[in-house]
C-alpha cells in the first residue's frame, strides 16, 4: 500500500487543521470474529491514518487471545471497554464517550451497527459543534418484532432520525434498498463493499497439507467448508438438510471421500441442536466442527468447495474470503451475493435445501480441473473488485480524511 500524507479537513471544532484526523469508533462487541468486527479491524490496520489516531470504544468487551478486540489492541489502538450489560445506555457511558471525544480532540464519530448509531443520536447535543457522525449499517433490517424485539424497535427509531448523521454507509445495495423500504432516508447514504487483503486470503498448499494432517483429513478427500457462527441467520438448519439429501444420493465410495468442515461460535459437536440435525447424515468420521477459529485464511485452504447458506446477509465476508482463496463457491441468494459472484448458476434461493443439494451434486461431479478453474475466476473477481485498498480509501473519504 502506498503511504500518503494524511491531513485534517477544515472543521469548526477548534482542532488544528494541519494535524492528522482522529477517529473515534463505537462498536457493540469485539469478543468474537463477526463480519463487522473484522471489517473494522481491516480498516484500522490498513488505514492511511496511524493506528494511534484511531480510538475504539467497545460497549461490551474486547475479549482476549485471538478475538478481533485483542487483535485491534495489538495494533496499538487506544481501546476502551465499557462492559455494558443488556441493551440500555447508562449516564456513565454518555459521560465516558463525551470525555473521550474531548480528550482526543476528535471531530469524527464512527458508529458500527444499530446500538452505537442510536447512541450517537442521543449524544449529538452534547458533542462539539461540527462533530461528524457516520453510521455504519452492516446488515439487512429485521423483518419482525418477534425475532429481535429490541433491535427491531431501534431500527424503527433510527429510520425516523436517519437524516441527522452526516453519512450512512452500508456494505451492500441490498441493505440500502431494504432500509429505504422501512423509512430510512437515502440523503447521505453511500454503499462501500467489503474489502480484504488478497495477500492474506490466497491459495497456499503448505497450509492445506498441515491443517488437513492436523484434522486427520486424507489428502484425496473432497472437503466442503462453511464458515459462520451458529445463529438462525446463517441457515445451518437448511444446510444440514441439504447435506442429508446429498448424502442419500451418493454411493458408498463417494460418501467415504466427502468431509464436511464448519467453524464459528457454537459450531461444535457439543451443540445438541447440531447433533440432532446430523441424524442419518454424515458419520463422525466425516464431520469436523471446529468452533471459533482465528486462522480462517489458512483454514480455508483445506477445502475444495465453500458453502454460504445464510438466510439473511448484507454482504458476506465469508464469501469473498473463500473466493479469494480460489475456492469454488455455492451461495444462497441473500444481500449482494449475485453481484459478488457474477455466476448466478451457483446461487440458490435461501432455505431451498433441495436446490443446494442439487448444486453440490453437480459441483462434486465436475472434473477437478474444471472446479479449480471456477476458483481461479472467483479469486480474480475479488482482486479486481473487492480489494482492501479500495474499501479503505472510500472509508477515509467518508470519515473526512484527505491525502496530501
Q: What are the grid coordinates assigned to 165, written together?
A: 448523521
Residue 303 has pLDDT above 60, yes or no: yes
Residue 148 has pLDDT above 80, yes or no: no
Q: Of the candidates 225, 277, 224, 281, which has an alpha carbon nearest to the alpha carbon of residue 249?
A: 281
Q: How confident is the model at residue 282 (pLDDT cuts 50, 70, 90)?
A: low
- pLDDT confidence of residue 101: 82
Query: Do 243 and 46 meet the contact criterion of CB atoms below 8 Å apart?
Result: no
- pLDDT confidence of residue 194: 97
Residue 79 has pLDDT above 60, yes or no: yes
Instruction: Report, as an integer, the average pLDDT of 13-20.
Output: 44
Residue pLDDT, tens place only, 135-145: 999 999 987 77
Instruction: Report, as an integer, the average pLDDT of 107-125.
Output: 94
Residue 116 has pLDDT above 60, yes or no: yes
CATH class for the region spanning 205-385: alpha beta
- pLDDT confidence of residue 280: 59
Q: How confident is the model at residue 9 (pLDDT cuts 50, 70, 90)?
A: very low
- pLDDT confidence of residue 12: 41
Classify domain 6-195+387-403 at the CATH superfamily level: Glycogen Phosphorylase B; (3.40.50.2000)
Cα-Cα end-to-end distance for the chain? 15
- pLDDT confidence of residue 13: 37
Q: Of the candidates 153, 148, 142, 91, which has an alpha carbon nearest to the alpha carbon of residue 118?
A: 153
Whole-number Å distance between alpha carbons of 175 and 166: 18
Residue pLDDT, tens place only, 183-200: 999 999 999 999 999 999
Q: 205-385: same fold as 6-195+387-403? A: yes
Whole-number Å distance between alpha carbons of 243 and 30: 32
pTM for the full model? 0.88
Task: Tell me the domain boundaries of the chain.
Answer: 6-195+387-403, 205-385
At residue 227, φ and ψ (nearest 5 deg) are -115, 120
Instruction: Report, as an integer, the average pLDDT of 149-168.
Output: 95
Q: How confident is the model at residue 227 (pLDDT cuts 50, 70, 90)?
A: very high
Q: Of the candidates 42, 123, 141, 70, which has an alpha carbon nearest to the alpha carbon of residue 395?
A: 42
Instruction: Report, as an integer, the average pLDDT of 350-371.
Output: 98
Q: How confident is the model at residue 3 (pLDDT cuts 50, 70, 90)?
A: very low
Residue 10 has pLDDT above 80, yes or no: no
Amino acid at each position: 500500500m502506498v503511504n500518503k500524507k494524511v491531513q485534517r479537513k477544515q472543521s469548526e471544532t477548534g482542532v488544528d487543521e494541519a494535524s492528522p484526523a482522529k477517529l473515534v469508533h463505537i462498536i457493540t462487541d469485539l469478543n468474537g470474529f463477526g463480519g463487522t468486527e473484522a471489517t473494522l479491524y481491516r480498516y484500522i490496520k490498513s488505514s492511511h491514518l496511524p493506528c494511534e489516531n484511531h480510538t475504539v470504544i467497545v460497549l461490551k468487551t474486547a475479549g482476549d487471545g485471538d478475538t478481533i478486540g485483542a487483535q485491534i489492541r495489538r495494533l496499538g489502538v487506544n481501546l476502551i471497554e465499557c462492559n455494558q450489560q443488556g441493551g440500555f445506555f447508562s449516564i456513565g457511558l454518555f459521560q465516558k464517550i463525551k470525555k473521550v471525544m474531548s480528550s482526543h480532540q476528535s471531530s469524527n464519530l464512527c458508529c458500527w451497527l444499530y446500538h452505537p448509531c442510536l447512541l450517537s443520536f442521543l449524544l449529538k447535543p452534547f458533542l462539539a459543534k461540527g462533530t461528524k457522525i457516520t453510521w455504519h449499517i452492516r446488515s439487512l433490517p429485521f423483518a419482525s418484532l418477534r425475532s429481535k424485539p429490541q433491535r427491531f424497535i431501534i431500527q424503527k427509531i433510527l429510520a425516523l432520525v436517519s437524516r441527522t448523521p452526516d453519512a450512512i454507509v452500508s456494505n451492500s445495495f441490498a441493505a440500502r434498498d431494504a432500509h429505504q423500504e422501512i423509512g430510512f432516508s437515502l440523503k447521505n447514504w453511500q454503499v462501500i463493499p467489503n474489502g480484504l487483503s488478497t495477500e492474506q486470503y490466497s491459495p497456499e498448499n503448505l497450509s492445506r497439507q498441515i491443517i488437513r494432517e492436523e484434522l486427520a483429513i486424507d489428502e484425496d478427500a473432497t472437503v466442503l467448508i462453511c464458515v459462520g457462527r451458529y445463529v438462525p441467520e446463517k441457515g445451518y438448519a437448511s444446510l444440514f438438510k441439504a447435506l442429508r439429501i446429498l448424502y442419500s444420493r451418493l454411493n458408498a465410495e463417494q460418501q467415504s471421500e466427502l468431509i464436511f468442515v464448519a467453524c464459528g461460535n457454537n459450531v461444535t459437536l457439543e451443540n445438541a441442536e447440531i447433533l440432532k440435525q446430523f441424524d442419518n447424515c454424515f458419520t463422525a468420521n466425516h464431520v469436523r466442527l471446529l468452533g471459533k477459529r482465528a486462522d480462517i485464511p489458512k483454514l480455508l485452504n483445506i477445502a475444495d468447495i465453500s458453502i454460504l447458506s445464510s438466510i439473511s446477509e448484507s454482504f458476506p465476508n465469508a464469501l469473498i474470503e473463500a473466493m479469494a482463496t480460489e475456492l469454488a463457491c455455492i451461495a444462497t441468494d441473500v444481500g449482494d451475493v449475485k453481484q459478488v459472484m457474477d455466476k448466478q448458476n451457483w446461487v440458490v434461493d435461501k432455505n431451498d435445501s433441495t436446490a443446494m443439494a442439487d448444486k453440490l451434486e453437480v459441483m462434486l461431479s465436475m472434473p477437478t480441473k474444471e472446479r479449480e478453474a471456477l476458483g481461479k475466476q472467483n479469486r480474480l473477481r475479488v482482486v479486481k473488485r473487492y480489494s482492501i485498498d479500495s474499501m479503505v480509501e472510500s472509508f477515509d473519504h467518508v470519515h473526512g480524511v484527505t491525502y496530501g
